[in-house]
Amino acid sequence: MPYIRIWVHIVWATKRRERIIHSNFRQELFDHIRSNARQKDIFLDCLNGVEDHLHALISLGSDQTISKIVQLLKGESSHWINKQKLLKGKFEWQDDYFAVSLSESGIDTVRRYIRNQETHHKKKTFEDEYQEFMEKYGFPILRKDPLG
């Protein structure tokens, strides 16, 4: 049995960054995503977000890829939101996402950051967070925001 611990911080947004993940169903959505992750053997350590985006801290398994995990979490959760009719229109996630690896020493910092999303976004918009993320991790800054 292989022993693997590859930590990844993943961020994904609603289509057009619409602020539609309302507080009246947000916790239920998070609980559903956690349950879905467990069923699919995805080690989801931490999950939180606000009206227009989510953050997740996961650890990859030996046969998992980031793209497959994101596809499973986003795809199933959007299907669930629509099936539950939690919104008037059709719910969609943005196609793109961020994903960066973490060292073991940075895990607690990222956990705190994810858990404090509501407080964090009272001071900083997702647009500001996006720009900082792009700069911090050396991603090319595009004219058209891929998450917007």
Each residue's pLDDT tens digit, 76-124: 999 999 999 999 999 999 998 999 999 999 999 999 999 999 887 888 8
Residue 143, pLDDT > 60, answer no
Strand 93-102 versus strand 53-60 pairing type: unpaired
For the beta sheet containing 93-102, the strands, ordered from the edge strand earlier in sequence to the opposite edge, are: 43-50, 53-60, 6-14, 93-102
Q: What is the pLDDT of residue 16?
A: 92
Q: Residue 90 — φ and ψ, nearest 5°?
A: -80, 130
Q: What is the pLDDT of residues 42-74, one digit of tens each?
A: 999 999 999 999 999 999 999 999 999 999 999
* Number of Cβ within a 10 Å radius of residue 74: 19
Report which secondary-structure segment, H or E, holds 111. helix 107-115
The 10s digit of each residue's pLDDT in 28-39 is 999 999 999 999
Instruction: Measure the CA–CA gap between 111 and 85, rounded to whole angstroms.
Output: 31
Compute CA distances 6 → 47, 61, 80, 113, 133, whole Å: 17, 8, 28, 19, 20
Asked whether the beta carbons of 13 and 53 are under 8 A apart, the reply is yes
CATH code at 6-136: 3.30.70.1290
User: What confidence score (pLDDT) does residue 15 get?
Assistant: 95
Contact (CB, 8 A) for 14 and 92: yes
- Pairing type for strands 43-50 and 53-60 reads antiparallel
Cα 90 to the center of its chain, rounded Å = 19
